[in-house]
Amino acid sequence: MMSPPLFPVPVDEYRADVDFVDFALGDRLEPRPGLVLTTRALRHPGGACGYRLDWAGRSFAYVTDTEHPEDGSLDPGVQALMAGVDVAIYDAAYTDEEYERHRGWGHSTWREGVRAAEAAGVGTLVLFHHDPSHDDDAMDRIAADADAARPGTLVAQDGLTLRR
């Protein structure tokens, strides 16, 4: 994955010490004492992995490249990652209307992100992985609608920093 054509900068040009650790989806890793990384398979063509980090009483979930179940249920793997986290970043590429044209592409909607966050008891939901066809006006509408549906929900944007 770190070589062309997927990534143009070879590892030997990094200005950092980098370790690669293989893992299987579903593994629980502890890369440093007290830092727990939990993984789960996500619903995406070709596969994808979601992550949860727990450290020093704080928790964070990264759930992108995932599609919600067609039967209306909540994905148990996603719910496990997001359960009670302080912050969850969730794949919200489409609106409900757009999603109908993109079923099977491996991406979800902001409404499903709100529903999953509510069910999981998430602190702050951050919507991510926006459809590139959405202009600023569309993103502003999504942000307002999502905040109305679940106050405090944010739309990820360049330079966004969350402090606590």
Nearest-5° angle of CA 131, CA 62, CA 136?
Answer: 30
Average of pLDDT values for 20-37? 92
pLDDT digits (tens, 9 = 90+) for 143-163: 999 999 999 999 998 899 998
> What is the band of 13 on the pLDDT scale with cuts at 50, 70, 90?
confident
Q: What are phi and psi of 138, to 5 degrees?
A: -60, -45
Overall fold of domain 26-155: Metallo-beta-lactamase; Chain A (3.60.15)
* Cβ pair 93, 102 in contact under 8 A: yes
Question: Is 80 exceeded by the pLDDT of residue 8?
Answer: no
Q: Tokens 């919200």 sit at which residue?
A: 92
pLDDT digits (tens, 9 = 90+) for 80-132: 999 999 999 999 999 999 999 999 999 999 999 999 999 999 999 999 988 88
CA distance 68 to 51: 16
Report the predicted TM-score, pTM, of the whole model to 2 decimal places: 0.87
Q: Would you state the pLDDT for residue 7? A: 74
Q: What are phi and psi of 47, to 5 degrees?
A: 95, 155
CA distance 15 to 23: 24
Question: Is 90 exceeded by the pLDDT of residue 12?
Answer: no
Mean residue pLDDT across the chain: 92
Q: What percent of the chain has pLDDT over 70?
A: 98
Q: Would you state the pLDDT for residue 2? A: 64
